[in-house]
Chain A
Amino acid sequence: QVTLRESGPALVKPTQTLTLTCTFSGFSLSTSGMCVSWIRQPPGKALEWLALIDWDDDKYYSTSLKTRLTISKDTSKNQVVLTMTNMDPVDTATYYCARILSYGDRIDYWGQGTLVTVSS
């Protein structure tokens, strides 16, 4: 049974760095073809893909946000961490982590999401 759970602060101040952790179970990120991604959704708006890390430690980032994002994994802990620097109120959103099979195949499991509000 595959599960993913996001954790991190619910509130961050402008200019601060956000660190989110995705803890997953039911699969190994060292298995060929496995990827974990971060996706966000501002209130009332569409999904926006942020970053992906694969079984081989290759990383991909949203072009518009790549200067602010870092994704990493700890395979032994079954965790993927996303950091986003210089947070702004427009970054207020629900942040999801999700499992992706073979890059472009499917996002087959999603976490429940965590709402991050950026406000002073």
Chain B
Amino acid sequence: QSVLTQPPSVSAAPGQKVTISCSGSSSNIGNNYVSWYQQLPGTAPKLLIYENNKRPSGIPDRFSGSKSGTSATLGITGLQTGDEADYYCGTWDSSLSAGWVFGGGTKLTVL
């Protein structure tokens, strides 16, 4: 049972847009930055979005992030078959049991 809640799967056709939600609480998303990670099959996760909505160098602007209250959203436009992957949200949890928390991951299928 992950601390952050993500939909298990989303799908869309090539060229379309998709959003992935991530829901948490005031101790994590509500008071800390959210980051997003892309994990292609058989590889380590890769940073996609940090500080809620910033992209590291080399990440195309097809990927975007936003945060509102205790929820965050990853958006992907112009879907490509190469975007098929698992996507995870993550953040620091500032509760008494402080530490990093992740969502359960969302499998993106590009139909």
* Contact residues, A43-76 vs B (CB, 8 A): 46-49, 52, 60-63
Within 8 A of A (CB), among B62-106: 88, 90-92, 94, 97-105
Q: Please, how many angstroms separate the alpha-carbon atoms of A62 and B28 in the complex?
A: 15
Q: Which residue of B lies closest to A47 (CB)?
A: B102
Bound CA–CA A46/B88 (angstroms): 8
Report the bound CA distance from A46 to B37 in whole Å.
12
Expressed in whole angstroms, the Cα–Cα distance for A111 and B43 within the complex equals: 10
* A77 interface residue (CB < 8 Å to B): no
With both beta carbons as reference points, the residue of chain B lying nearest to A111 in the complex is identified as B44
Q: Give the B interface residue count (CB, 8 A).
A: 26
The one of B37, B46, B56, B92 that contacts A103, using a Cβ cutoff of 8 Å: B92
Tell me if B90 and A107 are in contact (CB < 8 A): yes
A62–B99 contact, CB under 8 A? Answer: yes
Choice from A37, A109, A112, A113 contacting B100 with Cβ under 8 Å: A37
Q: How many residues of A contact B (CB 8 A)?
A: 24
Whether, in the assembled complex, A24 has its beta carbon less than 8 Å from a beta carbon of chain B, the answer is no
Q: Does B21 contact A (CB under 8 A)?
A: no
Contact with B along A19-50 (1 / 0, CB 8 A): 00000000000000000010100000011110
Cβ–Cβ < 8 Å partners of B45 in chain A: 47, 96, 107, 110
Min CB gap A113→B, angstroms: 5
Q: State the CA gap A10–B33 with chains docked (Å).
A: 35
Q: How far is the CB of A24 from chain B (nearest CB, A)?
A: 14
Interface contact B104-A49, CB-CB below 8 Å = no
Apart from A46-B2, A52-B100, what 19 extra A-B contacts exist at CB < 8 Å?
A46-B104, A47-B45, A47-B102, A60-B98, A96-B45, A104-B32, A104-B33, A104-B100, A105-B35, A105-B50, A106-B50, A107-B35, A107-B45, A107-B47, A108-B47, A109-B47, A110-B44, A110-B46, A113-B44
Interchain residue pairs with CB less than 8 A apart (7): A47-B88, A60-B99, A61-B99, A104-B91, A104-B100, A106-B47, A112-B44
